[in-house]
Amino acid sequence: MSIDHIHKIAVMGAGLMGHGIALEFAAHGYEVGLYDLTDEILARGLENARANLQTLANAGVITAQQAAEAPARLHPSTRLEEAAAGADVVVEAVAEKLEIKHDVFRRLDACCSAQTILASNSSTLMPSKLAPAVRHPERLLVAHYWNPPYLIPLVEVLGSPQTSPAVVETMRELLLNIGKTPVVMKKEALGFIGNRIQFALWREACHIVEEGIATPEDVDAVVRSSFGRRLAVAGPFEVFEVGGLDVIYNATSYVFPDLDNSTKPSRLVQEHVEKGELGLKTGKGFYTWTPEKAAALRKRIADGLLWLLKRRDV
pLDDT on residue 150: 97
Q: Render pLDDT for 66-109 as a digit per residue (tens, 0 to 9).
A: 999 999 999 999 999 999 999 999 999 999 999 999 999 999 99
What b/e string do you get for 97-129 counting C-beta neighbours within 10 Å, with b at 16 or more?
Answer: eeeebbebbebbbeebeeebbbbbbbbebbbbb
CA dihedral 211, 215, 221, 224 (to 10 degrees): 50
Q: Which of 37, 28, 24 is nearest to 7 (CA)?
A: 28
Element (H, E) at 170: helix 165-177
Burial of 195 (0-12, 13-18, 19+ CB in 10 A): middle
8 A C-beta contact, residue 75 and residue 45: no
- Which amino acid does the sequence have at 135? R
Own/partner contacts of 244-251, CB < 8 Å, gap of 24 or more, are none
The CA distance from 198 to 48, in Å, is 28
The C-alpha atoms of residue 56 and residue 148 are separated, in whole angstroms, by: 12
CA diameter of the chain? 60
CA distance 282 to 276: 7
Q: What is the pLDDT of residues 242-270, one digit of tens each?
A: 999 999 999 999 999 999 999 999 999 99
Q: CA 227, 230, 236, 239 torsion: positive or negative? A: negative
30 in Cβ contact with 7 (< 8 Å): yes
Q: Write out residues in the chain with pLDDT < 70, as ranges.
A: 314
Percent with pLDDT over 90 in the chain = 97
CATH superfamily entry for domain 194-310: N-(1-d-carboxylethyl)-l-norvaline Dehydrogenase; domain 2 (1.10.1040.10)
SS3 10: strand
Q: By the 8 A CB rule, do 269 and 206 touch?
A: yes
Domain boundaries, the chain: 3-184, 194-310
pTM check: above 0.85: yes
Q: Show Cβ contacts of residue 153 under 8 Å, excluding neighbours closer than 6 positions.
A: 179, 180, 181, 309
Look at the domain 3-184 and name its fold.
Answer: Rossmann fold (3.40.50)
Q: How far is CA 138 from CA 107, 132, 174, 185, in A?
A: 17, 11, 18, 16
Q: Which one-letter amino acid corresponds to residue 77?
A: S
